[in-house]
Homo-oligomer: A and B are copies of this chain.
Amino acid sequence: MCGIFGVSGVDRAAELTYSGLYSLQHRGQESAGIVSVDESLHVHSRRGMGLVQDVVTPTALSELPGDTAVGHTRYSTAGSSVLVNAQPCIVNYHHGPLALAHNGNLTNATQLRSDLVRNGSIFQSSSDSEVIVHLIARSEAREPEDQILDALERIEGAYSLILTVGRTLYAIVDPRGFRPLVVGKLNGGYVVASETCALDIIGAERERELQPGEWLKIDDGRIKNLPDLEPKPHRRCVFELVYFSRPDSVVFGRSVEATRRALGRHLAREHPAPECDCVFSVPDSSNAMALGFAQESGLALEHGLIRNHYVGRTFISPDQSSRSAKVRIKYNPVREVINGKRVVVVDDSLVRGTTAKSLIQMIRQAGAREIHLRIASPPITGSCYYGIDTPTRDELVASNRSVEEIRQYLGLESLEYLSLESMLAAAGGDQGSYCHACFSGDYPIPPPDDKVEGDAASELIPATRNNRP
């Protein structure tokens, strides 16, 4: 997953981008980058592995002048976790400097890339985003917009894009609208971002969300709609609401906090645990769900687990490398809350189930008499090919286990998942407009041939997962 951010027509665009990326850090901690374009069309860039505050030092920031900027924060698969894949991509092509930040995943990138290489294109990275740039450069159209359109007509998959050619900024969302993109106003210019929280941090006024297939051009403080891409059925990623986005953002027209509260309420209705003494969340990503559950069920809300917020590149010694030690570094149970109690634990989702297993053990050791786990989304049974780095099917705890088998594996008194219907009801709006392939197997675009199974797996839930609030 990635966070993207762009500025057009506001002074110190790179500083705004820095703050924007900082608030989008939960969308990717692997690498970060900012590209700025100054009045003389000179391009300045800083990209590197790590958090934006590590990559873009104050000195680096001071060397990114201009009123136009694009930023990217990346959260990628293990195999390609290398500097050369850090975005934004920057190239000099015949129309001048082009910078591109991409959130999503192309499903036909392998084929396109292989065609391009056969014709003499030289790739610098293994990222699918570079394919887009080469398609633009190879286009035989004369104007940048036509070249971009040529490229968009050939790519398939999920893409929210921020792109600059010279000092003109384009913001584009694929016709299915998998990933969010919003536009805001600030000091006579415009700002584009993956989530509204990135507008808030810089004090920009939320203008509106881009619709699927929408394409904006921003230039000299003027914003203009280019013709929409050819329409397709909408497929908004429901996991953005369930897990990925920040609770203070509005995504797909919905308050994330409110949606999660609704998920908790639906969960309490579908799977109450009336005999229990209290309910608590796996902080922080499930806080809203636990609150919703408590309010709906009438069970007492507690803080049963405390997170250490100084998480990061903590060294874990060989002696501590067991999963349970890793979990202990991030969470500590509050014994006084748990001891002797029948507790409901609310979590947003279960991916591999390994962290949950250790958490359950920890809660048990803190004296819980019964543990009832409630998951505010359905079982994840398949990988995502549209931008979320889920592991391969084999690694998903629910891919070939029944709920009862998972309950036993985790060592629980009870385990319940929210149903697909309730999840979509809580998400609200047009329930047919969501992509829920990882839960339902209903893939709106066929997975790429080379990914159907046995894919070199990546982690959905890395060490820093729950830094999201």
Contact = CB atoms under 8 A, between A and B. Distances in A.
A255 B332 CA distance: 13
A284 interface: yes
Interface string A225-257: 000000000000000000000111010000101
A51 interface: yes
Contacts of A92: 117, 122-123
Contacts of A313: 53
A203 interface: yes
Contact of A336 (B124, B255, B309, B310): B255
A118 interface: yes
Contacts of A2: none
Interface in A422-469: 467-469
B247 A306 contact: yes
Given A120-B138, A201-B328, A310-B467, A61 B255 contact: no
Nearest to A284: B309
B200 A332 contact: yes
A56 B314 CA distance: 10
A188 to B, nearest CB: 15
Contacts of A314: 22, 53
A18 B258 CA distance: 39
A403 interface: no
Contacts of A469: 283, 306-309
Best-surrounded residue of A291, A329, A332 (most CB of chain B within 10 A): A332
A334 interface: yes
Interface stretch (A208-216, A269-277, A315-323, A347-355): A315-323
A248 B332 contact: yes
Interface string A6-17: 000000100100
A91 to B, nearest CB: 5
B123 A120 contact: no
Contacts of A328: 200-201, 203
A332 B57 contact: no
A12 B53 contact: no
B306 A300 contact: no
A344 to B, nearest CB: 16
Given A310-B22, A310-B51, A334 B121 contact: no
A462 B325 CA distance: 30
Contacts of A120: 93, 121, 134, 137-139
A334 B248 contact: yes
Contacts of A337: 257-258
A15 B329 CA distance: 13
Contacts of A312: 51, 53
A79 interface: no
Contact of A53 (B123, B197, B301, B310): B310
A328 B332 CA distance: 29
A406 to B, nearest CB: 26
B138 A334 contact: no
A10 to B, nearest CB: 11
Interface string A273-309: 0000000000110011001000100001111001111
Interface of A: 12, 15, 18-19, 22-23, 25-26, 51, 53, 56-58, 61, 91-94, 117-118, 120-124, 133-134, 137-139, 197, 200-201, 203, 246-248, 250, 255, 257-258, 283-284, 287-288, 291, 295, 300-303, 306-310, 312-315, 317, 319-320, 325, 328-329, 332-337, 467-469
6 contacts: A18-B317, A23-B332, A91-B122, A92-B123, A197-B332, A250-B336
Given A120-B138, A203-B325, A309-B309, 11 more contacts: A18-B315, A120-B139, A121-B137, A197-B332, A246-B306, A247-B306, A255-B336, A257-B334, A258-B336, A308-B469, A309-B468
